[in-house]
Structure 1
Amino acid sequence: MSSIITKSRLEARLQAEVERRRQAFLEALLALDAPLTAELHRLPPDEWADYPPLAAYPQLQPQLKSLKQADAALCQWQLGLYGLCSDCEAELTTEQLWDDPCRQRCDPCEEKYRKAQHGAWEL
């Protein structure tokens, strides 16, 4: 990136990404269940991903995972832990966070996480 990435620009980018993910989730849910979408609007957005009736829609799992990642990034920001790997606490680069403001892991930990999720551990 050619310009300097400031903390305030990174925070604005994080907020915009969180809002984008929330909107994408609401649009996907609206296409499946308009009454549930209206019900969800009565809850704080950080409670959406854990709302029990959503379990009836397995096709929403990618969006729910994305929401949880966004909520975690916001929480990390508020706690002053934003930009640290959630597994090993290594510092993520500003460029990595700019590319994905909701990023949770450094490259080595992300690779381990993905292998664990897919049962592909190598001995």
Structure 2
Amino acid sequence: MSRNITEQELELRLLAVAEDRRHRFLFTLQELNAALAAQLQQVPADEWVDHPPLTAWPQLQPQINALKQVDAALCQWQLGLYGLCSDCEAELTREQLWLDPCRQRCDVCEQKYHKAQHGNWQL
């Protein structure tokens, strides 16, 4: 992306991604358990991932993880820490954030994180 991305554009993109992920999650849950989906709609969206009945649905785990990412990014935005690597605090570029508004780490820390998660440490 060659043009300058404004802070307002990043915020709108992040909010749109959050809305989309939440909508998709509710749609999937509605197909699995309509009563639970209706119950969840009575809970603030930023508390959905901690809703105890969801643990009975392991197939929702990838979407729950996506919601956790978006909740973390929204929290960072509110705290004024959006766009900083959560590990080393390096500044992420606006282009990186445009491509993935929920991005939490710089490239170096992301590689370290994945190696640690998948046990691929190379000596």
Answer whether TM exceeds 0.5 for this pair.
yes
Per the TM alignment, residue 111 of structure 1 is displaced from its structure 2 partner at its CA by 1.3
Shift of 1:3: 3.0
Corresponding letter in the other structure for 2:65: K
After the TM superposition, which segments of 4 or more aligned residues of structure 1 sit over 6 Å from their partners? none
Match of 2:101 in 1: 101
Question: After the TM superposition, which of the residue ranges 7-16 and 26-35 deviates more from structure 2?
Answer: 26-35
Q: Residue 15 of structure 2 corresponds to which residue in structure 1?
A: 15
Describe how 1:6-85 pairs up with structure 2 within 5 A: 6-85=6-85
1-structure distance, mates of 2:27, 2:120: 33
Equivalenced residue count is 123
Is 1:111 the counterpart of 2:111? The answer is: yes
Q: CA deviation at 1:120?
A: 2.0
Normalising by structure 1, report the TM-score: 0.95
Identity %: 68
Q: CA RMSD in A?
A: 1.0
* 1:84 partner SS: coil
| Unaligned residue ranges in structure 2 (runs of 5+) | none
1:27 Cα deviation after fit: 1.2
**TM-score (normalizing by structure 2):** 0.95
